[in-house]
A and B are shown apart, each in its own frame.
Chain A
């Protein structure tokens, strides 16, 4: 549910109560076994992250134990090459991607993680570009699509590397990189939805009423495009976590001190011949969270399109 919040907006006030409507749309999830499994996986990690905010078995960054221990009764998942408890680090690793964003130069910590802010950013930018291209058409459409084609042809990984090499490591830079790489995809989706929706009668009606184009785009078209957009953003959170893990693995991910799964894999793989556990756990964590989000999105899409038919 924490994941569903960003795009859930504009609930009409009449009819059944807000909560009943919300519950009705959430209960779609339970009609698909795939979506349920996915949601359980995602919720598992969200809950682990919430617990880690208040409690971890040991301090995640303190080298208190013997190095490279296999799982045992003290350290349930073992220890890494500096003698830090892997379970504690793994738990705290959920925070930076799902639960908090750090701005060290301002001394601030925001709620909601880097992956989700990145997706919110790309949905905002993508929706703006896509609505303008789709609804206004003509010259707007030509220029926007040419620009987006250039961005899409740009290999995503090169963009990540260059942006981070240029602007330095940091949560905000990763959010920016995810926004820039995600926006073209969202814009294309929103454009195609807008092209479809703008032929409907209620858009004609709004135009006759003399509403401004901005009102029509953001109040009439966008809320009616929310279903596919929601599924798409769910998949994008998965991609974003995937990307953050990859960046961490390449050594240019989220900055320390908070552990991040990709960085953990990258550090531990240097000792892979002596200690495989330190590589296995964070790898499994990333894979399970991304698979969870994918299953969730897939199941949700199946259910939503079934309703459309």
Chain B
């Protein structure tokens, strides 16, 4: 058993690795110039070039993958020559980067050709003073200095040559003199819990992803709680009445429900309950982060849509397994020895028939994620699916990667749990 778990975990890690590289290359190959999407089609080539430099997109792809995976402050520390540390910003909750100069946290900025040093105080504010730094002289006679700027980049300033950079502000691009020549956007890397900044929103992915994951887990969890009992009951009824009209009815209805795409089901439910009857809200508009907890009715139609699609599938599985068990010799023996029919069904058949559906449901989680994307798109539900959709369309590498990692982990973990549950339910199976 332990060997099986270890092998599964190793396989999971390899899987995650392959998936992340594949995604990285795909997005690299196809998304074109991401700065056009961030800055808009009317941005000038200089603005785009400057912004590419600020995002570190000029680095080769393997280096950016390593940055994404394990971070890059080790690379920046070699340039700066000081330890780089993160401190949480008390206002935004985001990590900020500082250089550690003899126990004081410091950043720098170039103002009118003079380097200013900004020391961090206990309360989070900074005190500016002229910096007493030694400019390094390279072979061309240029005096340069690597430091940390106020936007969490390790940057290279060149004395007397403040570059003109385009800075993205809320009001658009602004041209600034005194800019650095080279940037390394600091990050810790995914393995240390930093998935980077969303290119679309400019906020750390790690902070924005979790509320979405929570919303989706609530949606999928409620759907699961609705689907399971219904599916098992209908599946068992169909299974013990094999070939009778009630079985035909349940089988055909569940086949229809499974084969109908989620968006068709969702649209029909919106038309019936949202437009004609006006019983339920037709879209899930979140007026506050906890809107689903305050108004559970928002969940009604999304859950119904997911249920309709999943229900049919699980019913079919349960029915098939029930039919098989009901035809087995030990059930015949139990009936022949005079046991009441219902006790045979409940005590002997159901317990054995439930093994297959439980594992298959676990394997089905992948399919469920696809359904969740569509359901969230229909109802405007702010969950993981919509997050992936928006990020993939934008070409937001960091957000897509992080969200895909979450979904892959969920899919693989449920598969392993399914396998383990099977060994507990079915003592005949042993993993060597």
Of B206-214, B238-246, B297-305, B389-397, the one touching chain A: B389-397
Assembly CA distance A56 to B366 (angstroms): 40
Least CB distance from B20 to A in Å reads 10
Q: How many residues of B contact A (CB 8 A)?
A: 48
Which of A158, A284, A291 interacts with B388 by CB under 8 Å?
Answer: A158
Stretch at the interface among B103-111, B126-134, B170-178, B407-415: B407-415
Nearest CB in chain A: distance from B167 CB, A: 28
Q: Does the CB pair A158–B366 fall under 8 Å?
A: no
Interchain CB contact under 8 A, B389 and A155 = no
> A295 an interface residue at 8 Å Cβ cutoff?
yes
State in angstroms the CA–CA spacing of A150 and B415 once bound together.
Answer: 13
Instruction: Report Cα–Cα, A262/B270, bound state, in Å.
Output: 17
Stretch in B256-264, B287-295, B421-429 with 4+ CB within 8 Å of A: B256-264
Q: Scoring B residues 8 to 27 as 1 if CB is less than 8 Å from chain A, else 0, what string do you get?
A: 00010011001100110011
Residue ID in chain B nearest A37 by CB atoms: B252
Q: List 27 A-B contacts (CB under 8 A).
A: A150-B15, A154-B408, A156-B366, A156-B367, A157-B369, A157-B370, A157-B385, A158-B388, A161-B373, A165-B30, A165-B392, A165-B393, A165-B394, A166-B26, A242-B261, A246-B370, A246-B374, A249-B263, A262-B263, A265-B267, A279-B271, A280-B271, A287-B261, A290-B259, A291-B260, A293-B259, A298-B255
Interface 0/1 of B354-381, CB less than 8 Å to A: 0000000000001101100110010000
- Checking A166, A167, A269 against B267 with a beta-carbon cut-off of 8 angstroms, the contacting residue is A269
The answer, yes or no, to whether A127 is at the interface (CB within 8 Å) is: no
> Which single member of A146, A238, A262, A283 contacts B11 (CB below 8 Å)?
A146
Residues of A within 8 A of B412 (CB): 153
Q: Which of chain A's residues has its CB closest to B377's CB?
A: A250
A279 to B27, CA, bound (A): 33
Q: Which 8 A-B pairs have the closest CB atoms?
A: A166-B30, A161-B392, A157-B370, A150-B18, A283-B264, A249-B263, A150-B15, A291-B259
User: Which of B260, B377, B412 lies at the interface centre, i.e. has the most chain A CB atoms within 10 A of its CB?
Assistant: B260
B236 at the interface (CB under 8 A from A): no
Select which of A150, A158, A238, A269 is within 8 A of B14 by beta carbon: A150
Interface status of A163 (Cβ within 8 A of chain B): yes
Could you say which residues of chain B place their CB within 8 Å of the CB of A150?
Answer: 14-15, 18-19, 22
Contact A161-B271, Cβ < 8 Å, known A153-B15, A246-B262, A246-B374? no
A150-175 interface mask toward B, CB cutoff 8 Å, 1 = contact, 0 = none? 10111111100111011110000000
Q: Is the beta-carbon distance between B374 and A250 smaller than 8 angstroms?
A: yes
Which A residues are CB-close (under 8 A) to B403?
158
| Per-residue interface assignment for chain A, residues 21 to 34, with 1 indicating a CB less than 8 Å from any chain B CB and 0 otherwise | 00000000000000
- Besides A155-B366, A246-B262, A283-B267, 7 other CB < 8 A contacts? A153-B412, A156-B367, A158-B373, A162-B23, A249-B377, A252-B393, A286-B260
Q: Does A66 contact B (CB under 8 A)?
A: no
Q: Hey, what's the 0/1 contact readout for A167-186 against B, CB within 8 Å counting as 1?
A: 11000000000000000000
Does B29 belong to the interface (CB within 8 Å)? Answer: yes
- Chain A residue contacts of B31, Cβ below 8 A: 165-166
B217 at the interface (CB under 8 A from A): no
Note all chain A residues with C-beta closer than 8 A to B408. Answer: 153-155
Given contacts A150-B15, A155-B369, A161-B388, contact A246 B261 (CB under 8 A): yes
Nearest CB in chain B: distance from A234 CB, A: 12
Q: Once the chains bind, are B267 and A153 in contact (CB under 8 Å)? A: no
